[in-house]
Structure 1
Amino acid sequence: MNIDHHYAIGVEWTGNRGSGTSDYRAYGRDNVVSAEGKPPLAGSSDRAFRGDTDRWNPEELLVAALSQCHLLSYLHVAVTHGVVVTGYRDEAVGTMTQTRDGGGAFVSVTLRPTVEIADPAHADLARSLHAEANAKCFIASSVNFPVRHEPTIVVAEQAGQRGGGATQ
């Protein structure tokens, strides 16, 4: 049985500088993303498209959504397989190719999670769980470009003693 989930957000353009879109340079790209019960999220376009670099742009938010979804899916599969994760951080990178007509699309996102685990005997299993987490990630399953993974597994006791102790 499939279960539908619905997500309602609002986006309000706040970049009218007085003359609307009378000229490409006349308007700001600022916007506010909102959802009931959550703090507003200040958005804009990428700097390359005259946006405000102090605000989140949609491209960053897409990469962030993939990274966050993978994190949450990974934690779920880790617990179901008995792998105790004690730390997780990701340095994700997305690549978008712009076309000559002004359009474009993402061509890939690479997630580079560093996962800290409690038991060194689970290092290989912890590394392998990224494939299962990817398959369970709702956002990764919704995009039409590859989401790659370059994980590093670190054992918790080694991380504290040697400042990293990666087991690649």
Structure 2
Amino acid sequence: MSVHQSAIRWQRAPHESDPGTYSRNHRVTLNGGQQVDVSASVEFKGDPGCADPEQMLVSAVSSCHMLFFLAIADFQGYRVDSYEDDPVAYLERNAAKGMEVTRIELSPRITFGGDNVPDPKAISRMHAGAHRNCFIRNSITAEVTIHHL
């Protein structure tokens, strides 16, 4: 077991472009001391210069998948030279007429180096293993799909 913490700090301030409401900007401090400026998404009166919770969620899913993929590839003797992804999350209405991230699409592009390069079936198996083991993916209800070449 491991424990993960953060600190969220918000202080009332006027909204930069809508004086009738408040700023959604706040700061997240992670337990390693890293700080992230966060706001609501732009569609919900957030600051486009800040990360939003939905971006952080999709980034967490993609990062978790990548870390498991890298570990599996390394364990199987493959050298990954680069891994890139441009994940997309879809915030949509759910059956209860609320909003939720219903699906996340990962599109990893991986470059292997060395003499031992996996074939497409081995790559698919590594993605399946990463998908199955990703802690973040296992913690959410959104459908996560992986589109890879």
TM-score, structure 1 as length reference: 0.78
Moved more, 28-37 or 114-123: 114-123
Aligned residues of 1:83 and 1:126 also touching (Cα < 8 A): no
Residue from 64, 70, 73 that aligns with 2:68: 73
Relative contact order, CA 8 A, sep 6+: which one is greater?
A: 2
Pairing of 1:9-158 with structure 2 (within 5 A): 9-17=6-14, 25-98=20-93, 103-118=98-113, 119=115, 121-124=117-120, 125-152=122-149
Query: How many residue pairs get matched?
Result: 145
Quick one: structure 1 residues 111 and 24, their matched pair in 2 at CA, closer, same or farther if it must change by over 3 Å?
farther
- Please list every run of 5 or more consecutive structure 1 residues that lacks an aligned counterpart in the other structure: 153-168
Structure with higher Rg: it is 1
What is the CA deviation profile of residues 31-61 of structure 1, one whole-angstrom value per residue up to 9, with x for unaligned ones? 1000243221000000000000000000000
Q: Percent identity?
A: 26
TM-score, structure 2 as length reference: 0.87
Residue 15 of structure 1: how far off its partner (Å): 4.3
- Please list every run of 5 or more consecutive structure 2 residues that lacks an aligned counterpart in the other structure: none
Structure 1 runs of 4+ aligned residues shifted over 4 Å read none
